[in-house]
Amino acid sequence: MSTSVGPTATPPPGSRSGAARPPGNKPWVSGMVLFAGVVMLVDGILEVFHGIMAIAEDEVFVTTPRYIFKFDLTSWGWIHLVIGALVAVTGFFLIKGAAWARIAGIFLASLSLIGSFLSLPYYPLWSLVIIALDVFVIWALCVYRED
C-alpha cells in the first residue's frame, strides 16, 4: 500500500486551477475596468482644466452666435468643472475597487458625454476627444462581470 502524492482529480475548495470560467467572462475585462478608472481620473482632471479655462478666459473658446444650447461660457465652465471633479473622484474609487463606482462611473461618464456634446461648438476637437474617452469608459464598465 503506497500513498501517491500527486495531483488529484478535483482541485481543493477555493482553488481556481482547473475551474472552468463561466461563458462570456474573459480575464481581460477586469484590466479594462482598471484602465477605465484611470481614463476617468485623467478625463476628470482634463474636464476640471477645461472648466477653469472657460471660467477664467472666455476668449480661449470659439463662440457660436446662433446655438440653441447657448450658455454663458462661464456657466459652461462651472458645469465642466463640477462634472470633471465628480468623474475624477469616481475614477479614483473605481481604481480602489469600489463596487458603487461602476454604476456611478457609467452615469457620470454619460453626463460628461452629454456635456461635451452640448459644448461641441465652443471647443470641437477637445469635445470629440472627451466624447471618445467617455464612450470607452461606458463600454468598459458595462461589460464587466464579477466572478
Q: Supply the pLDDT for residue 29.
A: 47
Q: Is residue 1 part of a domain?
A: no
Long-range contacts of 134-138 (CB under 8 A, 24+ apart): 134/43, 134/109, 134/110, 136/36, 136/39, 137/36, 137/39, 137/40, 137/43, 137/105, 137/109, 138/106, 138/109, 138/110, 138/113
Name the residue range of residue 101's domain: 35-62+73-143
- Global pTM value: 0.70
Q: Is residue 94 part of a domain?
A: yes
Q: Is residue 90 part of a domain?
A: yes
Q: Is residue 26 part of a domain?
A: no
Q: Supply the pLDDT for residue 72.
A: 72
Q: Is residue 132 part of a domain?
A: yes
Q: Supply the pLDDT for residue 33.
A: 84
Q: Is residue 14 part of a domain?
A: no
Q: Supply the pLDDT for residue 9.
A: 53
| Domains held by the chain: number | 1
Q: Supply the pLDDT for residue 106.
A: 94
Q: Supply the pLDDT for residue 88.
A: 94
Q: Supply the pLDDT for residue 130.
A: 87
Q: Is residue 7 part of a domain?
A: no
pLDDT in tens, 11-68: 555 555 555 555 554 444 467 888 899 999 999 998 898 888 888 876 666 566 666 6
pLDDT in tens, 82-134: 999 999 999 998 888 888 889 999 999 999 899 888 878 777 888 899 899 89
Q: Is residue 19 part of a domain?
A: no
